[in-house]
């Protein structure tokens, strides 16, 4: 029910969603739904540091204040590819997907990728000469490449964890649970999983102290050949050679592989099982 002040004018309560009068681009409800690492990242891009010991409520309050104050610094996120004069402003960074009509492009997830992962994904889409680019520029370039649809089938599934399919897609892929991001969880212990998401694969391997490797003598045109992980238990196989994550994922994407794996065995214990399969070849 609206109330009237002493002058007789009607005063209404703030509607749900945006609770910051005169700042229509600041939606506190959406900001409050962000994860802690996302809040810290956005504060850092606005020049706000020393947030390591802050709780979520304090981070939310600090980000809203920074957005109200317009405290965005020159490092404030990826620049707009459309030439908008509001590039880097608060309204250019809402949570989730910020690219209308492109539901598979999630700028928040792209911004959380590591530099070598960004370069790998750009290279798989035909974008080279990225060695001297900073992270913000790499993020912008990848978003643009994804919007433009460049890179063709060679990059299929490399950005969103989507399963790659082809004439020789195996039954293992068909009956595995698809994992598209690190936030997805297995339905049950022992469940067979499949992904192409770099962050999921890297997190899985590093949780088991796995090191990215290739088998010596299997290289193709200067690129890594047969891909493996070296786990500390049991010692390294003689022919395994450690390579960078960038080179590992470069070969993974070039060969359009799927990563089939388990998080846990059916008894709930951690599993090291994984297999790499190509939907384009019978022998993977």
pLDDT in tens, the chain (284 residues): 544 544 444 444 444 455 555 555 677 888 888 888 788 878 877 878 788 788 888 888 888 888 888 733 333 333 333 333 333 433 344 444 444 445 457 788 888 888 888 887 777 666 767 778 889 888 888 888 777 754 333 333 334 557 888 888 888 888 999 998 888 899 999 999 999 999 999 999 999 999 999 998 888 777 888 899 998 876 666 788 899 999 999 889 888 899 999 999 999 999 999 999 988 875 54
User: In 3D, which of 182, 180, 143, 181 has the Cα closest to residue 162?
Assistant: 180
Say how far apart CA 33 and CA 105 lie, in whole Å. 19
243: left (phi over 0), alpha (psi -120 to 50) or beta: beta
Residue 154 CB: number of other CB atoms within 10 A? 13
What is the domain partition of the chain in residue ranges? Answer: 1-77, 97-155, 171-277
97-155 carries CATH number 1.10.10: no
Find out whether 206 and 196 touch, Cβ atoms under 8 Å. no
Residue found by looking up tokens 């022919």 in the block: 239
Tell me the C-alpha to C-alpha distance, in Å, between residue 157 and each of 30, 75, 281.
Answer: 28, 29, 17
Q: Which residues have CB under 8 Å from 76's CB, separation 6+? A: 45, 46, 88, 89
Tell me the C-alpha to C-alpha distance, in Å, between residue 269 and each of 172, 182, 191.
Answer: 21, 19, 12
Backbone angles phi, psi at 270, to 5 degrees: -60, 140
């Amino acid at each position: 029910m609206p109330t009237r002040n002493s002058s007789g004018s009607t005063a209404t309560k703030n509607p749900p969603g945006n609770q910051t009068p005169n700042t229509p681009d600041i939606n506190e409800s959406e900001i409050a739904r962000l994860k802690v690492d996302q809040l810290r990242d956005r504060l850092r891009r606005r020049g706000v540091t020393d947030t390591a010991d802050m709780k979520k409520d304090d981070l939310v309050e600090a980000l809203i204040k920074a957005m109200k104050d317009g405290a965005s610094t020159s490092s404030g996120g990826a620049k707009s590819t459309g030439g908008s004069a509001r590039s880097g402003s608060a309204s250019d960074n809402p949570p989730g997907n910020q690219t209308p009509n492109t539901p598979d492009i999630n700028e928040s997830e792209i911004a959380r990728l590591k530099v070598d992962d960004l370069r790998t994904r750009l290279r798989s889409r035909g974008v080279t000469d990225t060695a001297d680019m900073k992270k913000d520029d790499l993020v912008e370039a990848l978003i643009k490449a994804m919007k433009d649809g460049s890179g063709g089938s060679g990059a299929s599934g490399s950005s969103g964890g989507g399963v790659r399919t082809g004439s020789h897609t195996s039954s293992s892929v068909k009956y595995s649970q698809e994992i598209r991001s690190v936030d997805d969880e297995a339905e049950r212990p022992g469940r067979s999983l499949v992904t192409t998401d770099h962050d999921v694969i890297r997190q899985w391997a590093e949780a088991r102290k796995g090191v990215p490797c290739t088998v010596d003598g299997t290289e193709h045109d200067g690129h890594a050949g047969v891909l493996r992980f070296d786990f500390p238990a049991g010692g390294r196989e003689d022919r395994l050679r450690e390579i960078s994550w960038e080179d590992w994922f470069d070969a993974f994407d070039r060969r359009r592989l799927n990563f089939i794996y388990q998080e846990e065995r059916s008894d709930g214990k951690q599993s090291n099982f994984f297999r790499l399969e190509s939907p384009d070849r019978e022998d993977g």
